[in-house]
């Protein structure tokens, strides 16, 4: 993948320290629900929110300083992309909490973590695997922008969205070269010059597909959007429909499908290659995606090595519930309804 055509900025102790504070705060914010009999849909939503919230309960009080120090020392490490699932998943958990508890502190914490990820591109961008980070960030921010009440944070959210869209376009262009503008009389395939190079590694292809799907979905008015969409479809179609793949590959592919769905589009390539996941995973020949955490309770310290690897895998549990279940059943903004007077009426509150 073409690297970023810009100087690499040193993150510095302030940036890593900010992340340390964000990841280590809020261990006592765990939610508990008040059930309402007869509301099956609310029960489904409540159940998934509780599963995702365990991630913050387990890691919200952990000492992340060994990890942030390692990030400082190795900003160009290709493995940094995998780490970004942790802050992105944690930010979505705080957004869950805001949607059901209405506490602005949870909303602000979520925004701060998203801002950190977007401003720390030198740690994860311009390398293989960055596409899945971009896609996860974009989907998360599309969800954030659909919140029904973000009083006082509108300008920060829109600035964050603009920053993310700039990153998305630059990362997509690093993967896909557009030979020429796509005119109305040209076939779509003629717009795509090359995917450089067409990768053989499944994880790389899935990441690039998710990236291009996000770019074409959330930047649909961009002149390059058609070429990005064609590249995404070509990469998604390269995965045989009958093959079992690693759950993490399927998760990244599902990000591409969800990006298209949130944009109101759903190409058949994504339909046949990602929404069949549940059928394949029910088969005895395919490995199910881990839906339970490896940790059994609060974690004291996370260090590079096995404890970080476990934290990353635990963050994938949040991503699985969010990207393959929750946002399909409860699209962004669905928690907001208007009463007869035009006022926002939220779903039942969790205390």
Say how far apart CA 171 and CA 169 lie, in whole Å: 6
Is the model's pLDDT at 203 over the cut of 60?
Answer: yes
| Confidence label for 342 from pLDDT (cuts 50, 70 and 90) | very low
More confident residue, 238 or 75: 75
| Confidence label for 272 from pLDDT (cuts 50, 70 and 90) | very low
Task: Give the pLDDT mean for 183-189.
Answer: 39
Stretch among 54-58, 136-140, 261-265 having the lowest mean pLDDT: 261-265
Average pLDDT for the chain: 80
Whole-model pTM: value is: 0.83
Task: Specify burial of residue 135 (Cβ count, 10 A radius: 0-12, 13-18, 19+).
Answer: buried
pLDDT digits (tens, 9 = 90+) for 108-119: 999 999 999 999
Task: Give the pLDDT mean for 278-298.
Answer: 71
In the block, residue with structure tokens 């160009």: 76
Is the model's pLDDT at 224 over the cut of 80?
Answer: yes
CB 65 within 8 A of CB 24: no
Task: Give the pLDDT mean for 118-131.
Answer: 95
Say how far apart CA 76 and CA 122 lie, in whole Å: 7
Residues with Cβ within 8 Å of 325's Cβ and at least 6 positions away in sequence, in order, are 48
Predicted pLDDT at 5: 37
Tokens of 10: 């040193």
Is the model's pLDDT at 138 over the cut of 60?
Answer: yes
Kindly state the DSSP code that residue 7 receives in the 8-state scheme. P
More confident residue, 290 or 68: 68
Question: In the chain, which ranges are continuous DSSP H helix?
Answer: 12-24, 40-59, 65-73, 80-83, 85-101, 104-119, 121-124, 130-145, 154-175, 202-218, 225-237, 247-262, 268-274, 277-282, 306-321, 327-329
pLDDT digits (tens, 9 = 90+) for 314-332: 999 999 999 999 999 999 9
Domain ranges of the chain: 13-124+298-351, 172-289
Kindly state the DSSP code that residue 191 receives in the 8-state scheme. G
Q: What percent of the chain has pLDDT over 70?
A: 72
Is the model's pLDDT at 96 over the cut of 90?
Answer: yes
């Amino acid at each position: 993948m073409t690297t970023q055509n810009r100087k690499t900025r040193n993150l510095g102790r302030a940036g890593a320290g900010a992340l340390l504070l964000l990841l280590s705060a809020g261990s006592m914010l765990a939610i508990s629900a008040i059930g309402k009999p007869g509301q099956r849909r609310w029960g489904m939503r409540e159940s998934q929110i509780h599963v995702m919230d365990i991630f913050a309960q387990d890691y919200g009080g952990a000492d992340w300083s060994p990890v942030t120090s390692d990030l400082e020392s190795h900003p160009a490490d290709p493995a940094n992309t995998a780490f970004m699932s942790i802050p992105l998943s944690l930010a979505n958990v705080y957004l869950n909490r805001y949607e059901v508890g209405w506490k602005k502190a949870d909303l602000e914490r979520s925004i701060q973590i998203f801002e950190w990820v977007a401003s720390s591109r030198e740690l994860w961008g311009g390398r293989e695997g960055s596409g899945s980070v971009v896609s996860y960030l974009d989907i998360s921010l599309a969800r954030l922008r659909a919140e029904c009440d973000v009083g006082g944070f509108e300008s920060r959210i829109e600035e964050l969205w603009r920053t993310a869209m700039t990153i998305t376009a630059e990362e997509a262009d690093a993967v896909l070269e557009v030979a020429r503008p796509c005119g109305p009389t040209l076939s779509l395939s003629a717009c795509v010059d090359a995917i450089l190079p067409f990768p053989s590694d499944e994880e790389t292809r899935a990441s690039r597909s998710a990236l291009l799907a996000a770019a074409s979905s959330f930047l649909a008015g961009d002149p390059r959007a058609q070429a990005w969409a064609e590249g995404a479809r070509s990469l998604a179609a390269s995965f045989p429909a009958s093959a079992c793949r690693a759950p993490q590959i399927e998760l990244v592919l599902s990000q591409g499908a969800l990006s298209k769905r949130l944009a109101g589009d759903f190409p058949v390539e994504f339909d046949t290659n990602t929404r069949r996941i549940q059928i394949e995973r029910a088969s005895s020949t395919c490995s199910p995606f881990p839906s339970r955490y490896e940790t059994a309770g609060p974690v004291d310290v996370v260090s590079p090595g096995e404890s970080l690897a476990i934290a990353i895998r635990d963050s994938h549990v949040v991503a699985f519930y969010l990207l393959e279940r929750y946002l399909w059943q409860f699209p962004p903004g669905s928690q907001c309804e208007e009463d007869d007077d035009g006022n926002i009426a939220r779903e039942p509150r969790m205390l």
